[in-house]
Structure formats: C-alpha cells, structure tokens
Amino acid sequence: MHRRLRRWCESGVIERIFRHLAAEHDNASMMTDSTIVRAHQHSAGARKKSVDQAIVPLRGGLTTNIHAIVDVAGKAVALSLTHPGKGQTSLIAEPLLDEVDPEGFIADKAYDAAPLIEKFEKRGITPVILSKKNRRNPRKILFLLYKKRNTIERFFARLKQFRGIATRYDKLKSTLLAALQLLSVIIEIN
C-alpha cells in the first residue's frame, strides 16, 4: 500500500484528483485554519540531503503544522504543511490564500494582520476575521458568517480520525501531503 501511495505521489496522480475535485468549490465564502500534528519519533529519519520535511522538535515533541482552506460545505480547497512556530500564521498561510478567490474569507484571530487584510480588500474579498485584543480600531464583522467557522474545525476533526494523520508516521512531507489530499477526497465523497 505504501509503495503504491509513493508512486501515485511521485507521478502526481493524487494531487491531480484533489485539484480536479477542489476546482468545483463554493466560491461564496471560504475559511482557513491550521492544526498541529504530533510526529512519531521514527518519522524524523528522512535523509538529510532531501528537502525540508516540515518536522520541528518543540516542547511537546516532534510536530508538523497542517494548513487548510475549506469552503462553506466543508470541502478542502487547498492544503499545505509547514513548521509550527516558524513565524506568524497569517504570513505562513499567505501562499495558500493566493490559490483561492472567494467573496468572503473567514478566519480566527491568528490571521488578523494588516498586510493580509489589505491584500484581501485589494482583491475585493470581504475579510471576516476577529480582531485581536490589542488592535486599536477593532473591525466590525458579520457574526452570522463567523459562526460558520466551525466547519473547518469539523474538517480537522474528521482528518484526525485517521491514525496516520493524528500522529505523523510518514518520513517525507510529500507522502503526508498526498495522504491528506487523498483523505480530503474520501471525506468529500462521503
């Protein structure tokens, strides 16, 4: 099974399936968030010559960060893996945000950054992002839209029902990303 997953990952089969199904998303509003996944000690054994594998030792052990953009129906539109604690969440997720063009964008306080909000407003996207407590001029948001943010939390809960995602066992970042894309397709179909 693992060998077939690696072959499909290297040939781009899983990514093409994911992109094809993600292209049929609801453009009304989308949401983003990230979650931390603990990595098993044996997942850190990738060859040093290879590219960054998005595993970082933190206080709680080896960890990986999963970023996702989901539409209102709970369908994954974009996924990525990064280092946890590498920087501001909104800046790390910015390349993902360039892949989508919704009418409204829902996110939590971690994404309350002036450059990101300005970027949304230039693109004509309504940001539905709670203001941080230290913001001088808190923005007014539509709480009816913000309440829909639980959709992405439920998406992460469904992903973490799978043991290989709840605890990272894959040494390679590309294999874990392919597994995430495959599981997102399975969740969408069910």
Which residues on adjacent β-strands are paired with residue 129? 107
Using pLDDT thresholds of 50, 70 and 90, give the confidence band for residue 167: confident
pLDDT at 157 (0 to 100): 92
Using pLDDT thresholds of 50, 70 and 90, give the confidence band for residue 56: low
Q: Is the pLDDT of residue 188 over 80?
A: yes
Residues 142-167, mean pLDDT to the nearest whole number: 88
What is the chain's mean pLDDT, rounded?
82
Q: How far apart are CA 62 and CA 66, in angstroms?
A: 14
CATH number at residue 161: 3.30.420.10
pLDDT at 47 (0 to 100): 63
Using pLDDT thresholds of 50, 70 and 90, give the confidence band for residue 37: confident
> What tokens were used for 158?
């469904």
Domain that holds residue 9: 2-189
Domain total of the chain? 1
Residues 93-104, mean pLDDT to the nearest whole number: 82
Q: How far apart are CA 29 and CA 135, in angstroms?
A: 24
pLDDT at 88 (0 to 100): 65
DSSP 79-120: EEEE-TTSS-HHHHSHHHHTT---SEEEE-GGG--HHHHHHH
Residues 119-130, mean pLDDT to the nearest whole number: 89
Q: Which of 16-20, 51-55, 130-134 has the lowest mean pLDDT?
A: 51-55
Let me know: does 107 contact 70? Beta carbons within 8 Å: no
* Most confident option among 30-39, 122-131, 136-145: 122-131
Query: Is the whole-model pTM more than 0.75?
Result: yes
Let me know: does 20 contact 149? Beta carbons within 8 Å: no
